[in-house]
Structure 1
Amino acid sequence: MDKQKRQDVIIRICCLVAAIVLWMYVRSSEDPVITSVLKYVPVEVLNADTLADKGLVLIEQDFYINLSVKAPASVVNDLDKNKDFKLAVDLQGYGLTPGENKVPVQIKESPTGVTIANADALNIKIDVDSLVEKNVDISATTVGKVSEGFYNGEPTVNPNIVRVEGPKRIIDQIARGEVEVDLTDASQNITKNLKVKLVNEEGKEIKGVSLAQEYVQVNVTVAKGKSLNVNVRTVGTAPQNVFIESVTSVPNSIEVAGESSVVDGLSYINTGEIDLSKITDSTTLDVPLVIPENVRTVNGEEYVQVKIVVTKYQEKKFTVPINYVNLGEKLVLEQQNPTVEVIVNGSEEAINALTVDVFKATVNLNGMLEGSHELEVELTGIPENIQLKSTTPAKVTVVIKKTNEETGNNDNQG
């Protein structure tokens, strides 16, 4: 009986083994083991921060690798390359140098029943570069226009220099940092914190570096504007024989902006003083503007050009006869000056056209009695474009006597 039982057990075990073998055969026939390549399986980079201790930095890149896996077809088909595998490359302890470096990939996790066929040959290229720093100038540009009747100043940036750090090959491409401020319809001062964009010489954005300060403060002054005429201030008088024909400013008006309380009260903008006593020829001078406090010129003008046109006078002498008039009855002139010397000046053209006939020298004897008198010579007929410099003598002495009727002397003048 015992022998029979042992035979039954042996038979059952054999049947079980046969069943398992049969099951495995059937299974392998229906779900065969296959080898497949999973592409772009992500690889985690560990201890990248340790590169800085060696003066190196990791170049931004995508870290993927292809895995050759062996497993039943049903398993392979259900694999999720992003979740089922944990691959890593540890940068600590490797003697990396600038450029591409081949580093082995470690398999941290993989699904049960899956064999990685190329596990011993998993390597990935790691691109590193020298870690460098650089100070970059930050400039601000504007877009849009402020409200009508207002003007904006140039934007200021604080800080205007930012330190950047990163791979040398990228840092070397950076030409400047930029921020852009929108002025559309602004009617008051603008203060904004704006993110810095790093660009190369062509204005193309550069990424892959770190900034000590990603945001900077930008300030733009927006003020009420007004157009003011330029008032040219002069002192002194032109030198002798120099006539100032015109004094004009170029430009003759300036756009200014500033606090409304100040700008509204302005009707013109002065220049510095020009001393006319030093002007001898036609000239153009750069003269500073006198800009009121809390006001600025919209286009940054600090000077205007002042054009001064002069005419040089010529001098000429004329001997003009004196005409004595209104001598009383029964009186005669016993002593008199026949002429006066007149000196005038004017432009060359006016002087050349001038003749002695235009001058009238007159001494008025009205009310004069017998005796000696000192009387003024009145000179008339001087053209408007002629200046009288002197009349010599300005006064004349006349001696008047009564006529001698008995002798028939009746030389009454007038």
Structure 2
Amino acid sequence: MDKFTNSAWFMRIVAFALAALLFISVNFEMESDKKSLGLSTAPENGTETIENVPVEVYYDRENLVVSGVPETVDVTLKGAKSLLLNAKSQRDFKVYVDLSDPEISMGDRSVTFKISDLNEKLVATIDPEYAEVNVQERMTKEFKVEAEYNSSLLEEGYTAGQPTVNPEVVKITGAKDVIEQISYVKANLEIRKGLNETVNGQATVKALDRDLNKLDVSIEPASVAVSLKVSIPSKKVSIEPKQTGKTKAGVRIKSISIDPKEVTLYGQENALDKINALYLPVNISKVDGDTEMELDLLKPETVQKMSASKATVKIRTEKVDVEDEEEVEEEEKVEEVIVDEEETIEKEEPETMESKTFTNLKIIPVGKREDQEVELESDVTNITLNGKADELKKISKNDISLTVDVSNLDEGQHDVELAVRVPAGVTWDLDSKRVTVSVSLPPKEEET
């Protein structure tokens, strides 16, 4: 036994056994330490969804137009958590659609989204996986811009001229089939209610199809300067004194003068046509000599405003005998009767008035927002104009504007009053002064 224990092989076996025990002991302690610190030898995997990742589209932008590609997509990544956190915070990868092939055909097609610059140890899933896109020939065409506004917002009595636009022509670029759908190019000038002065502003240009739907095109310039001249018809008339009361005994009125002699009236033209003078009542019952007084001018109900609200009246008198005064009064009474008879004859001769009816006039919605879909129950109506025969002959359909303001309408059906613009000097009657408007809003995308 002593011989065996003293041999070299015994010592080798013991040394190997001790080394094995030491190795096992050290590794067991290291694993225990890692577990006690929450560490793992294998990487921990996870999943992260990154929302609203921008989509890039590669294609020939000079000659083609591509539509249907969403602006953003959601990307779900799987892999080591450390790599996921870095990818989510840095967002240094790209999602794209490649349509750069010069041999690409026109029309509709399905394309898959691709991802680049992503760590190869991560697995990506894109939602949605593909997009239905339309590829069309790019086209640019010039169109004349037509300015519009809501005439019902003008202050009562005021009128507006034809709005002017600068520049009058814009360049519109888009898919060829979309450009061919353009029926109207409008610039809607936003005005406030009760507008009573000329306004200059910027208006966004919109391209619309025949049903007044906004088209997805590029417009250069995107907005234009619009000037709308707003004024009110006016007429100068003389201020005529109208004596009231009776003079005192022994006093005769020699003259009555008024300063100013004229006043400018403002209002609707047909109302002004009926006024030839503004009469100012002057009470002479308390006048016993030369007198000067300031009196208020009475504004007719049909007049919007006047250039003056007061007038100075100067009365010149003279002393007379009572008998002479009575003779003069009798003469004045005879003159008044003659004047009244003449006025009656004039009133019995009415002006020749006629009516003229225009049928199937288009009703144009104004103020439509981008998020609105607007449909009129009936987009045409008939209007009858009343006025002087000579004036009616000059009026055509192009002189009449029928609009309905949809700018403040919520989703649903609304009974909205029509705004009517006709030439001055005529009145109008509509088959129906209101129209039923249906407003719908596109559904909002659900958040994920």
**Rg larger in 1 or in 2?**
1
- Could you say which TM-score interval applies, normalised by the shorter chain? 0.3 to 0.5
**TM-score, with structure 1 as normaliser:** 0.43
**TM-score, with structure 2 as normaliser:** 0.40
